C-alpha cells in the first residue's frame, strides 16, 4: 500500500449502529440502499461522487468566494485552471455532470442520430435518448466479461465503430474515461489515437466523458506510457473536440460540472443555453466559492502522488477481497471494486435481483453501504437484459483509512462464506425513470 500524501485535520463522527437497528433500517428503506439515511451508515461506499474530502487549500478558497451575479473572479480562476490542466479554450460551467450532458446532447443530437459509446453511463445515455438519439455500444467484448483481466477494457472496438459511422447518421463519437459500468476500466493511448483517426476519416468530432480522466491517465502511466500525469491528461485531451465532466469525482469537490471545448461557434450556442437551464455563463448553477474550490481541486488532482495513492488504495481494498475469495471484477478499477453477484449468490436468479439483495445484505451485515449495478439500474424500458450483476464498492477520495477498508473487506469475506443463506427479492414499486434510485422491494 502507498503512503497517504496527506494527514487528517478535521474529522466527521460516524457510528456503527447495532445489527437489529440495521435490519430495521434496511427494511424501512425497502431493501434499496439509496433509501437509507446516511446517519445509519457506518462506511459509505455508495459512490465516489461528491463524497471526496477537500484540502485545506480548497477550504481556504471557499472563504474567497466572489458571489457577484456576473463576472465572478472565481470563474476566471476556474477557466484558467481548466485551460491549464485540460487545454481547452472554452468553458461552460454547469451544476453537475448531467447538466453538461443535457446541454451537449440537446445541441449536438437530432432525431434519428446514432451515438457510438464505449458502454453507457446512466445519465449520458438518458440525455442522448431524451434528445431522440439512439445509444449504441461499440465497446470491446472484454468489457462485458467480469473475469477477463484485459488491462484496457475501456477501449472501443474499431470495427464496430467504423460500421456505425458507415451505416448511421452520427453526430459525434462518445468515449468515456475509466468506464464506470465496466468496473472503472481505462482506454489506452493507442486505442484513443486509432479512434481519433477514424473520427478524422469520417469527419466526426470526438467527445470524451472526462469525469474520471485522471484515474484513466494513471493506468496509462502504469501500463503504457510512463509520463507525469499532467502531461498524459493534456495529451488525451488533445485528441478530443470537447469534454463533459462531472467535477464531483476526479476534481475533488462536492458539487459541480462543466463542458470544455474548442469550437467557438458551438461554445456560443452552449452559453446561450446554459443561461436557460443552469445559470449565467459565468456561474452555471455554482456559487463563487464552489468554483474556487473546483479551480483548486483541478490543480490538485493531477499531482502524481495524489492520484497514485488514490488508485492504489482502491487496489489494496480489491486485493484484500480477492485474497479472501470474494469474486470481483478484474482488473481492479480506478474508483471502485465491483463484486460479481452472479458468482457471490449464484443460487439467486436475475429476476430476483441478486445485486440488489446482496447490497442490502452487505449493509445489514456490516453497516457498509454499496450500490446495485445490475438489472435494477441496467434495464432500459422493455429492452431485455441479461448483462452484468454487480455490486459497486466505491471509494471516496481522501476519506477512509486502511482500518476502514480492512473492516469492510473482512465483513464481506465473512458474508461470502455464508452466502447460501441469502434469499432473493421481489419488486413492490417501480418508478418510470432511473428506477434504481427509488424502487422498493420485499424479501421472498
Q: Which residues are catalytic?
A: 69, 121-122, 209, 249, 373, 436
Contact between 37 and 24 under an 8 Å Cβ cutoff? The reply is no
Residues 386-405 that bind ligand P71 (CB under 6 A): none
- The CB-nearest residue to ligand P71 is 97
Residues 342-361 that bind ligand P71 (CB under 6 A): none
Residues 48-67 that bind ligand P71 (CB under 6 A): 49
Nearest-approach distance from CB 102 to ligand P71, in angstroms: 9
Integer distance in angstroms from the first to the last C-alpha of the chain? 42
The answer for residues whose C-beta is within 8 angstroms of residue 31's C-beta and 6 or more apart is: 356, 357, 360, 425, 440, 441, 442, 443
With CA atoms as reference, report the closest residue to 118 among 68, 196, 163, 174. Answer: 174
Residues 224-253 that bind ligand P71 (CB under 6 A): 246, 248
Contact between 176 and 124 under an 8 Å Cβ cutoff? The reply is yes
Of 367 and 378, the one with the shorter C-beta distance to ligand P71 is 378
Contact flag: residue 47 with ligand P71 (CB under 6 A): yes
Instruction: Report the distance separating Cα 210 and Cα 223, nearest Å.
Output: 19
The size of the interface with ligand P71 (CB under 6 A), counted in residues, is: 16
With CA atoms as reference, report the closest residue to 302 among 363, 215, 355, 230. Answer: 230
Of 165 and 439, the one with the shorter C-beta distance to ligand P71 is 439
The single residue among 40, 185, 209, 372 that binds ligand P71, judged by CB under 6 A, is: 209
Kind and range of the H or E element at 25? Answer: helix 19-28
The answer for residues whose C-beta is within 8 angstroms of residue 226's C-beta and 6 or more apart is: none
For CA atoms 167, 169, 173, 176, the dihedral sign is negative
Of 96 and 104, the one with the shorter C-beta distance to ligand P71 is 96
Nearest-approach distance from CB 34 to ligand P71, in angstroms: 8
User: Coil, helix or strand for 244?
Assistant: strand
Nearest-approach distance from CB 24 to ligand P71, in angstroms: 25
> In terms of DSSP H, where are the helices of 208-302?
213-223, 229-238, 264-277, 288-301
Nearest-approach distance from CB 123 to ligand P71, in angstroms: 4
Nearest-approach distance from CB 335 to ligand P71, in angstroms: 8
One symbol per residue from 93 to 132: x for binding ligand P71 (CB under 6 A), - otherwise; what is it? ---xxx----------------------xxxx--------
One symbol per residue from 158 to 177: x for binding ligand P71 (CB under 6 A), - otherwise; what is it? ------------------x-
Give the binding site for ligand P71 (CB under 6 A).
Answer: 47, 49, 96-98, 121-124, 176, 180, 209, 211, 246, 248, 257
Amino acid at each position: 500500500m502507498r503512503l497517504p500524501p496527506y494527514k487528517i485535520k478535521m474529522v466527521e463522527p460516524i457510528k456503527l449502529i447495532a445489527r437489529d437497528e440495521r435490519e430495521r433500517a434496511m427494511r424501512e428503506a425497502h431493501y434499496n440502499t439509496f433509501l437509507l439515511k446516511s446517519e445509519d451508515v457506518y462506511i459509505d461506499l455508495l459512490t465516489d461522487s461528491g463524497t471526496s474530502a477537500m484540502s485545506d487549500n480548497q477550504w481556504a478558497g471557499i472563504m474567497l468566494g466572489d458571489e457577484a451575479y456576473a463576472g465572478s473572479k472565481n470563474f476566471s480562476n476556474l477557466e484558467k485552471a481548466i485551460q491549464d490542466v485540460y487545454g481547452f479554450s472554452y468553458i461552460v460551467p454547469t451544476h453537475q455532470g448531467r447538466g453538461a450532458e443535457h446541454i451537449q446532447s440537446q445541441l449536438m443530437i437530432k432525431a434519428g442520430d446514432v451515438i457510438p459509446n464505449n458502454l453507457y453511463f446512466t445519465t449520458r445515455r438518458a440525455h442522448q435518448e431524451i434528445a431522440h438519439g439512439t445509444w449504441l455500444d461499440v465497446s470491446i467484448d472484454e468489457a462485458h466479461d467480469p473475469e477477463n483481466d484485459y488491462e484496457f477494457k475501456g477501449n472501443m472496438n474499431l470495427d464496430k465503430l467504423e460500421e456505425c459511422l458507415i451505416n448511421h447518421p452520427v453526430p459525434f463519437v462518445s468515449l468515456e474515461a475509466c468506464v464506470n459500468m465496466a468496473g472503472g476500466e481505462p482506454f489506452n493511448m493507442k486505442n484513443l489515437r486509432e479512434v481519433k483517426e477514424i473520427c478524422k476519416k469520417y469527419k466526426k468530432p470526438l467527445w470524451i466523458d472526462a469525469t474520471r480522466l485522471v484515474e484513466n491517465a494513471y493506468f496509462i502511466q502504469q501500463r503504457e506510457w510512463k509520463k507525469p500525469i499532467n502531461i498524459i491528461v493534456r495529451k488525451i485531451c488533445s485528441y478530443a473536440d470537447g469534454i463533459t465532466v462531472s467535477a464531483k469525482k476526479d476534481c475533488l469537490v462536492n458539487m459541480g460540472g462543466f463542458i470544455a471545448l474548442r469550437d467557438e461557434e458551438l461554445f456560443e450556442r452552449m452559453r446561450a443555453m446554459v443561461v436557460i437551464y443552469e445559470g449565467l455563463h459565468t456561474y452555471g448553477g455554482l456559487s463563487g466559492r464552489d468554483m474556487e474550490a473546483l479551480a483548486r481541486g483541478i490543480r490538485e488532482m493531477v499531482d502524481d502522488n495524489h492520484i497514485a495513492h488514490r488508485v492504489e488504495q482502491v487496489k489494496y481494498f480489491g486485493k484484500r477481497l480477492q485474497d479472501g475469495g470474494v469474486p470481483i471484477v478484474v482488473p481492479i478499477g480506478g474508483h471502485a471494486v465491483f463484486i460479481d453477484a452472479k458468482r457471490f449468490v449464484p443460487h439467486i436468479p436475475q429476476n430476483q435481483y441478486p445485486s440488489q439483495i446482496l447490497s442490502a445484505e452487505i449493509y445489514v451485515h456490516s453497516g457498509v453501504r454499496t450500490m446495485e449495478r445490475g438489472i435494477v439500474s441496467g434495464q432500459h424500458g422493455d429492452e431485455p437484459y441479461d448483462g452484468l450483476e454487480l455490486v459497486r464498492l466505491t471509494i471516496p477520495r481522501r476519506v477512509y483509512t486502511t482500518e476502514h477498508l480492512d473492516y469492510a473487506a473482512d465483513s464481506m469475506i465473512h458474508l461470502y462464506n455464508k452466502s447460501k443463506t441469502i434469499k432473493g427479492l421481489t419488486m413492490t414499486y417501480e418508478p418510470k425513470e432511473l428506477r434504481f434510485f427509488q424502487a422498493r422491494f420485499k424479501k421472498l
